[in-house]
Structure 1
Amino acid sequence: MCSTGASERYYADLSLKRRLSTPEGKKAYVRSLFATIADRYDLITVVLSYGLDWRWKLRLVDLVHPDANARSLDLATGTGDIAFLLRRGCAHVIGLDVTQRMVELARAKGSGRLPGRRHDDPPIRRRPVRRRDDRLWAQKCSRADRGPR
């Protein structure tokens, strides 16, 4: 007899709540989640966005409008889609992600052309790049595709 009742869901919910109750637990959960889906991430993104993900990615890069001398840092680069689009107009792009598998997939997708790095601690706190006049653009600006106001 197999039971998949409410009590099992309740225990799973408690376990997740406990895991997400600390900053370390949240970090571990996010890394684990993205490591689990990394190989299917691009497909999942296309399916969940009904194929419109490229529209907002292209719009974001168009809004950023990188020039030939620009240096860009793509935070949470995932499999590198935005970093590669930025690379078309930028001299130097670095993709950062906390999930090693995502960085590996980005490198493979770009045949090693993208310097990608895994970072265990968010770069916002540690500044892994030198501060000069460089403009840093972070991806995940979901407002980019909301259209004119």
Structure 2
Amino acid sequence: MTVKILLPALVTCLALVTACSTAVVGSGTQAATTTTTTTATTSSTTEEADPTPEPVPLPTIDEGAPAQYCDDAFPGALGKPMLAVVVETPSGRLTCDQAAAVLVDYYAERRDPTAGRPPLVIGTMTCNQVPEPALPQVVCADDDNLIYSMWPQT
């Protein structure tokens, strides 16, 4: 009699745990230990839990913030020379060369300065065209660093 009560309770418990832990689905560990019944529950739950992520908004650039304006130009928007700027952040560690490398990779993918596209991930940084640029053209940021490109000021 105990087995008759515990078995349905165990299956119900597994189904509830599987349905509530959609973030773990795909790790391979849970799928290997669940039964066919709970796997079917997981599959239907996973389909509902896959919304398209929202684009990360660009950080606002304070043009008066302390920053390192890099001297070496690189090919940027429309193939014209651009300069990198490394904004000083509490934990930022990028050099001008590293910032320029990220921006060169961005411009290799998007040579035309068109705003409104989804962000582009370059290494650890998320980059995108500024909608109405004043000084910054493309802004890239990650948890520690903030950089942008600009046309040379003459």
- TM bucket by the smaller chain? under 0.3
Structure ID, larger Rg: 2
User: Which structure has the higher relative contact order (CA within 8 Å, separation 6+)?
Assistant: 1
TM-score, structure 1 as length reference: 0.26
Structure with greater helix share of residues: 1
Q: Whose strand proportion is higher, 1 or 2?
A: 2
